[in-house]
Amino acid sequence: MENIIGQNLQYFRELAKFKKNELARLIPCDVSLITRYENSERQPTLKILIRISEIFNISLDRLISEQNNDYQLSARGSGKSTKEEAQEILNLKQIAEDFLEIMKNVSLNTEYQGSKYSEYQPVHIIDIKRNMELSNPINYEEMKTALRSNWNIQIFELPLKTRNISGITFNFGNQYIVFINKGHTEERKLFSLIHELCHIVYHLDKKQYLISRLSSRDPLEKEANKFAEEFLIPSEKLSSEFKLEKLHSLKQEYISELAGKFNVSPECMFKDLNRKGLVQYHWQSYRPVTNYNKEYNLEWNWKDLPYLYVFGVFYNWKLEKISMTRAAKYLYSDVRTISNLFKEFDEKTEKAS
């Protein structure tokens, strides 16, 4: 037990990007105690354990129980990494782990069913689209459905408190769970989803942590952006739609019009045209400004969770694997609300049978 607590304390502290002296100041305690706790030379009191769980916003059970730290992560965002971002990732990891536990309890397969490639080639995009039977242009809802039903990639769409994060992917032993920021525009959500798909197909087996930044020079980030652009804006389709005379006469207006035909943001279209040598970055009168909807409602409830997750919690309760109180915690709601919801589910299942 002591060794587990020490390992967990170090794990959560580093994941939340806390230095030892920062954590000691918040507890408060002497910084040397943090070292002794992590080295299992001394065991924290219950009071201190409760305080640490409050600081990291995790349950006491997670702090003192053995953790599944064997996972891979990719995240797409902008700006510098912050403690708030690290805390958000920690919270989403818990939701992902809860989902996998719920699915395991009812014997539902969550293993990845899609393709894997060692090195990016444009022909792979054609194969992926054919495999998923995607239309052109692709829309966000269609892409979500295709990934879930064809490749068994689980997708959560929640309003993230860290507004600059647009997408996060966890891989737990070939079980992929993607979180998309619900607060962002449809175009950005679609681009982020396909961006994360690239990391799943090519990168996450090679690198445990991949935190992507919009301005990143990381070659894997650049490759994911290129993959998403080519996925959404096929060269042959763009060639048939593109009118050079309209570009030079309407400039920003035409680029925005063109973007709408491919369900991408005007900024994404501008970057793709630049990559193809049709515009230059310094052409300011051509370059559109995209509103990324940085202000949005952060509130969410069980209705924002995937239906499979909600119904999985119901069946866990139905099979008496979890209590109603535990079900309410899984669904981030109160017992009364979930009790009424499960009564509705009971009625529907009875009618169906």
Q: Taking phi first (over 0 means left), then psi (-120 to 50 degrees means alpha), and beta for anything else, what does residue 300 get? A: beta
Q: Which residue has 């965002």 as its token pair?
A: 77
Give the strand pairing for 209-213 and 72-77: parallel
Cα 204 from Cα 72, distance rounded (Å): 6
Rg (CA), the chain: 23
Query: In angstroms, rounded to a whole number, what is the distance separating the alpha carbons of residues 155 and 180?
Result: 7
Check residue 216 and give its pLDDT. Answer: 60
189 in Cβ contact with 140 (< 8 Å): yes
Cα separation of 273 and 256, whole Å?
12
**Could you tell me which of 290, 298, 253, 248 has the C-alpha nearest to residue 271?**
290
Query: What are the distances in angstroms from CA 251 to CA 136, 239, 242?
Result: 25, 17, 12
Neighbours of 41 (CB within 10 A): 11
Question: Could you give the maximum distance between any two Cα atoms of the chain, in Å?
Answer: 74
Report residue 253 CA to chain centroid gap: 32
SS3 118: coil
Tokens standing for residue 349? 């299942």
User: In 3-state terms, what secondary structure has residue 27?
Assistant: coil
Domain boundary assignment for the chain: 2-64, 72-232, 302-352
- Give the H/E segment covering residue 309: helix 307-318
CATH among 3.90.79.10, 1.10.101.10, 1.10.260.40, 1.10.10.350 for 2-64: 1.10.260.40
Say what the pLDDT of residue 189 is: 94
Q: Could you read off the pLDDT tens digit of each residue along the chain, which spans 353 residues? A: 557 888 889 888 887 778 899 999 999 999 999 999 999 899 999 999 999 988 887 888 888 887 656 677 777 766 667 788 888 888 898 899 999 999 999 999 999 999 999 999 999 999 999 999 998 899 999 999 999 999 999 999 999 988 888 889 999 989 999 999 999 999 999 999 999 999 999 988 766 666 655 556 678 888 999 999 999 999 999 999 999 999 999 999 999 999 999 999 999 999 999 988 999 989 989 988 776 666 789 999 999 999 999 999 999 999 999 999 999 999 999 999 999 999 999 888 887 76
Look at residue 113 and give its three-state secondary structure: coil
DSSP state for residue 117 in the 8-state scheme: -
> Among candidates 346, 44, 143, 331, which has minimal Cα distance to 53?
44
Query: Computed from CA positions of residues 117, 119, 123, 124, in that sequence, does the dihedral angle turn out positive or negative?
Result: positive
